[in-house]
Amino acid sequence: MLNRASDIDEDSVSNPGRTSYLRGRKRYLPVIAAASFFLGYVLAALRNLLFFAALLLPLILALAYSVGSKSLAKVTGTRRLKDALLVKNVAISFGWSLIPILVGLYFQSVPILVYALAVVIFLRLLVNTILFDVRDVEGDKMFGVRTIPTVKGQGQAFKAMAVFDALSAIVLVILVLAGALPFYALALLAFNLYSFCYRAIARRPGTKLNFICDVLADGEYLLWGPVIFIGKLLL
């Protein structure tokens, strides 16, 4: 919500339908985000203080990504994480990869399996975020946002996705062989093929990327649970 509020003008180019819906509601988004963070932190503090402290990291990431500061510019060269080449992708992917660790902290137990899963999620999300950059390339160019597609071109962006996709498969296999993840976690390799297929469709000239990004790419993570469950039954 913070990002939607801060980047509504950029979104007007890449996603005019969403912008039209949000423009009249822009002033409510920071309020809803602040209320959500506040309620979340109250609940976290009631659970345990370590969980509460760990939840501060997503807030810091959200502010650094969407709002930024002059101090951040001294470190990254840009006021916001979103404006730095590849840093944007790393920040988003890192934020999502924290979820299993935060769940572990909630239950006051963070086994090695949780950290291993976080690494796989991080690599899978890098593929996802770069694909969204390809979709948003026109808006990012107009507003000077440095992404792989705007700086290196879409061809290089798809090559980067292929590299991170392959790396996620390699890391997954290594983690299984090392005993950090159960054998049935190899069922997640199905998503490397899944990702290859929707990226192949996305590369076709004239393909509209909204459905591919919003449904196929983001929908991958809804399928993780069922696929892992099936993998556990079969493997």
* Structure token digits, residue 139: 């808006």
Query: DSSP assignment of 127-175, as one string?
Result: HHHHHHHHHTHHHHHHTT---HHHHT-HHHHHHHHHHHHHHHHHHHHHH
Tell me yes or no: is domain 87-235 CATH 1.10.10: no
Tens digits of pLDDT across the chain (235 residues): 777 666 666 666 667 777 777 777 777 888 888 899 899 999 999 999 999 999 998 888 888 877 777 777 777 677 777 777 888 899 889 999 999 999 999 999 999 999 999 999 999 999 999 999 999 888 888 877 889 999 999 999 999 999 999 999 999 999 999 999 999 999 999 999 999 999 999 999 888 898 999 999 999 989 999 999 999 999 8
Are the beta carbons of 188 and 120 closer than 8 angstroms?
yes
> What is the distance between the alpha carbons of residues 33 and 39, in angstroms, rounded to a whole number?
10
| Cβ count near 3 (within 10 Å) | 18
Which residue, among 51, 120, 235, 186, has the nearest Cα to 112 in the 3D structure?
120
Cα dist from 6 to 11, 19, 23, 67, 220, whole Å = 10, 12, 11, 7, 27
Helix count and strand count (H, E) for the chain = 15, 0
Q: Give the CB-side neighbour count of residue 176, counting CA atoms within 13 A.
A: 16
Helices 87-106, 56-66: crossing angle, 10 deg rounding = 160
Q: Which residues, at least 6 apart from 213, have a Cβ–Cβ distance to it below 8 Å? A: 131, 132, 135
Domain boundaries, the chain: 87-235
Which residue, among 67, 74, 115, 117, has the nearest Cα to 91 in the 3D structure?
67
> What is the distance between the alpha carbons of residues 117 and 98, in angstroms, rounded to a whole number?
10
